[in-house]
Structure 1
Amino acid sequence: MLILKIALVRLLDVITWMIIIKALMSWFPGAMDSKIYQIISELTDPIEAPVRKAMSKFTVGPVDFSPMISIIILMVISRLIMRLL
């Protein structure tokens, strides 16, 4: 059970870092056309898309807060896994 807990927490950490890398890459114009960005986007969009859709009612302007909200949700899930398992 301990191995499962560690594996799940590490997986959530990797996903969190991919979201951070994707957000940083979005600041550079040519980076969004790269293959790395496309791969990271395909892996993180299932997590960010529902958050982006829910936040669309409250978001005004060009700033997308869905990566930050997604990271917070992943951190909460990680903490729950650490306490429950």
Structure 2
Amino acid sequence: MYSVFRAINSVLFAFEMILVARAVLSWFPISRNNKFIDLLHAITEPVLSPIRNMLSRSSIFNNSMLSMMDFSPIVAFLLIEVIRNVVLSIFRIFIY
């Protein structure tokens, strides 16, 4: 049972690292035709796009200075941590 939690945790950690790579590489002038950049976008965009849409509808981020920055990776990190804690709590119930 613990190995299942470790596998889920490893997948979540790998996704976090992919998010970090995308965020850091967005600061550099890299061509959009790069296959690695396309792969990063293909992996992360299904998660970041709905978050970005929710943030754009928010009154806090709409028509303010904050709308110039993309906070979707930060929200994604917070959601991953929530998922990790929920999964850990579920596994603690079954283990103990």
Q: Is TM (by shorter chain) over 0.5?
A: yes
Separation in 1 of the partners of 2:31 and 2:25? 6
- Paired position in structure 1 for 2:81: 75
Separation in 1 of the partners of 2:49 and 2:9? 21
CA RMSD of aligned residues (A): 1.4
- Paired position in structure 2 for 1:52: 52
1:6-21 equivalence runs, <5 A = 6-21=6-21
1:7-46 equivalence runs, <5 A = 7-30=7-30, 32-46=32-46
Q: Which has the larger radius of gyration?
A: 2
Which deviates more from structure 2 when the two are superposed, residues 28-37 or residues 71-80? 28-37
Separation in 2 of the partners of 1:6 and 1:70? 20
Tell me the amino acid that sits aligned with residue 17 of structure 2: W
Tell me the amino acid that sits aligned with residue 85 of structure 2: R
Separation in 2 of the partners of 1:32 and 1:72? 27
Contiguous gaps of at least 5 residues in structure 1: none
Which secondary structure does the structure 2 equivalent of 1:56 belong to?
A: helix
Separation in 1 of the partners of 2:31 and 2:2? 38
Task: Calculate the TM-score normalised by the size of structure 1.
Answer: 0.89
Separation in 2 of the partners of 1:49 and 1:42? 11
Question: Whose relative contact order is higher, 1 or 2, with alpha carbons under 8 Å and at least 6 apart?
Answer: 1
Separation in 2 of the partners of 1:64 and 1:26? 11
Q: CA deviation at 1:57?
A: 2.1
Identity of aligned residues (%): 24
